[in-house]
Structure 1
Amino acid sequence: MRRKRTLEDWIMDSFITVILLAVALVTLYPFYYILLITFNDGADTALGGMYLWPREFTLSNYIYFFEDDKWLKAFLITFFRTIVGTVLAVLFTSMVAYGLAKRDLMFRKFYFVVVIVAMNFSGGLVAYYIVLRNLGLINSFGVYVIPSMLNIFFLLIAISFFKDIPEELSESARIDGASEFRILVKIILPISLPLMATMSLFMGSGQWNSWLDSAYFVQNEELRTLTYRMMQVINQSQIPAGDSQALSSMSKATVTPFSVQATAMVVSIVPILCVYPFLQKYFVKGMMLGSVKG
């Protein structure tokens, strides 16, 4: 039988509800406010006093963003680096983890020592730059995807995950003549969807939000990423010289540096919001499996 709710229960539930609503408001309103700015006249936004809805509704911010070749190219570069980088990172990390999960692997302990050292120590930015230069990755698209193909954190989680997959599955495939790569692709990865989805979400988010590699290792303006362009706008008090002419053509300055910055933020968030709901059911399960196995 359900216990009858007392006055104290009603008071406590009401108090908790108010607290949670306040936390939700404080958390969600900044995102709503940024969205509000993107649909409002830039000059009008600069006047302040706008809180709930656009005072002068306009699509000029989005029109300027998608018509500007610089922003559009940066968006496409970020999109392609996210897709290519995520696929390569998940596949390569899974392949290495699958090999290290085999107890009969030669020099297995040595490989683990290398992984642990790489996880805890770094050669520094200068040494990293020299390695990238010697590999011919500086100022190329490859600098975005090749260095991130092996994720040490998820490598250890994947090793722990693969260890607990029954060896009989692999043995039966070997008897039928399947190679190790075919076993990985056709058997191991399909039954590891929670792990794959979790890795894809984190690695994809990392690729989408990364801007340091574009700032340090790329000089070609055609290869700049969306987040790098956003950082440029954030760190400058004025629109760059190349943009000032474009903005001057907009009647009554309907587009401002701040409104462009807000628009870039919204555009950069939308793809992650679209992908996350499809991976959410695997996300929690994948993290729990990776944390308790081993």
Structure 2
Amino acid sequence: MGRRKSFEDWSLDTVILIALLLIVLVTLYPFYYILIITFNAGTDTTNGGMYLWPRDFTLENYIYFIEDPKWIQALGMSLLRTVVGTGLGVLFTAMVAYGLAKRDLLFRKGYFFVIIVAMNFSGGLIAYYVVLKSLGLINSFGVYVIPGMLNLFFLLIAISFFSELPEELAESARIDGASEFRIFSRIVMPVSMPLIATMCLFIGSGHWNAWLDSAYFVQDERLRTLTYRMMQVINQSMVASAGEAAASTMSRSKVTPFSVQATAMVVSIIPILGVYPFLQKHFVSGMMLGSVKG
């Protein structure tokens, strides 16, 4: 039997519990506040004084969001970008890392030198724009996914992970006549799920939350992402100049730009919350990748 807790132990546990509850409250309340704003009339929200539940319950914010083709198109573009960009980024990064993990690879040190230089030095926005334009990626869907196909941070982690895999797995497959791509796809990838899950979560979140490339390198309104539309709403001057047509519609309803922005925030969080539980088990293991071995 364990020893009975003393009064000091109970006091310390109580203080810790209260502190943790306060941290949870401070962390979760902003999300809850945004949620209740989406179910409250936007014109009523501007009056303030609402903290725990909707004061003037309505679904008009979500109805306006669904009926506005720009928001739905932006949501679809963000989903397409995230799925395609994450798939290509994880596949290409893992393939390059698998090759660089081979210790007998020619010019291996030279490749690592290029990677380290690229991680620490940048050509700047203008040079980056010139490169994208020369590749014909400006104002195209490719500008979202092609530049991010090689993630240098996860490249180094993947190299370290693949280097620790038993070489006997690949050798036995080569004896049976398997090609390197078959070894990579049928043997290496299945045993690398913690790495793959971690890469999917971080690379996918990066694509889902990105908006600068949509602002700088895209002019086609059909290619705008959800986060870019949200930034438009945040910038009131842009809303005033680019949303005059929507303003007349809003004036006849209970919807305001801020309530639509809050609705877009909630909608944008749902996919991440839906994917994370399926990756959590592998994600916890993947967070230990690249750590120093004792």
Fold match (TM-score > 0.5): yes
Q: Secondary structure at the match of 1:290?
A: coil
Return the alpha-carbon distance in structure 1 between the equivalents of residues 37 and 237 of structure 2: 18
Deviation at 1:238, TM superposition (A): 7.3
Q: Secondary structure at the match of 1:118?
A: helix
Change (3 A) 1:172 1:237: same
Corresponding residue of 1:120: 120
Q: 1:196-219 CA distances to partner (integer Å, 9 max, x unpaired)?
A: 000000000000000010011111
Q: Secondary structure at the match of 1:289?
A: coil
Corresponding residue of 1:87: 87
Corresponding residue of 1:177: 177
Return the alpha-carbon distance in structure 2 between the equivalents of residues 16 and 186 of structure 1: 48
Corresponding residue of 1:78: 78
Matched, 1:22 2:22: yes
Structure 2 counterparts to residues 162-201 of structure 1, below 5 A:
162-201=162-201
Corresponding residue of 1:203: 203
Greater CA deviation, 7-16 or 28-37? 7-16
Letter in 1 for 2:132: L
Return the alpha-carbon distance in structure 2 between the equivalents of residues 229 and 200 of structure 1: 24
Q: Secondary structure at the match of 2:132?
A: helix
Return the alpha-carbon distance in structure 2 between the equivalents of residues 61 and 241 of structure 1: 21
Structure 2 counterparts to residues 43-58 of structure 1, below 5 A:
43-58=43-58
Structure 2 counterparts to residues 126-275 of structure 1, below 5 A:
126-236=126-236, 239-240=239-240, 243-249=243-249, 252-275=252-275
Unaligned runs of 5+ in 1: none
Return the alpha-carbon distance in structure 1 between the equivalents of residues 80 and 204 of structure 2: 11
Q: Secondary structure at the match of 2:291?
A: helix
Change (3 A) 1:14 1:187: same
Deviation at 1:11, TM superposition (A): 1.1
Return the alpha-carbon distance in structure 2 between the equivalents of residues 242 and 215 of structure 1: 14
Deviation at 1:248, TM superposition (A): 3.1
Q: Secondary structure at the match of 2:58?
A: coil
Q: Secondary structure at the match of 1:8?
A: helix
Q: 1:169-226 CA distances to partner (integer Å, 9 max, x unpaired)?
A: 1111111111111111111000000000000000000000000100111111111111
Contact 2:232 2:238 in 1 (8 A): no
Deviation at 1:239, TM superposition (A): 3.6
Return the alpha-carbon distance in structure 2 between the equivalents of residues 293 and 120 of structure 1: 25
Alignment: residue pair count: 294
Identical counterparts, % of pairs: 72
Contact 2:85 2:149 in 1 (8 A): yes
Unaligned runs of 5+ in 2: none
Corresponding residue of 2:40: 40
Corresponding residue of 2:102: 102
Deviation at 1:57, TM superposition (A): 1.1
Return the alpha-carbon distance in structure 2 between the equivalents of residues 83 and 240 of structure 1: 33
Tell me the TM-score normalised to structure 2 length.
Answer: 0.96
Q: 1:110-143 CA distances to partner (integer Å, 9 max, x unpaired)?
A: 1111111111111111111000000000000000
Deviation at 1:237, TM superposition (A): 5.3
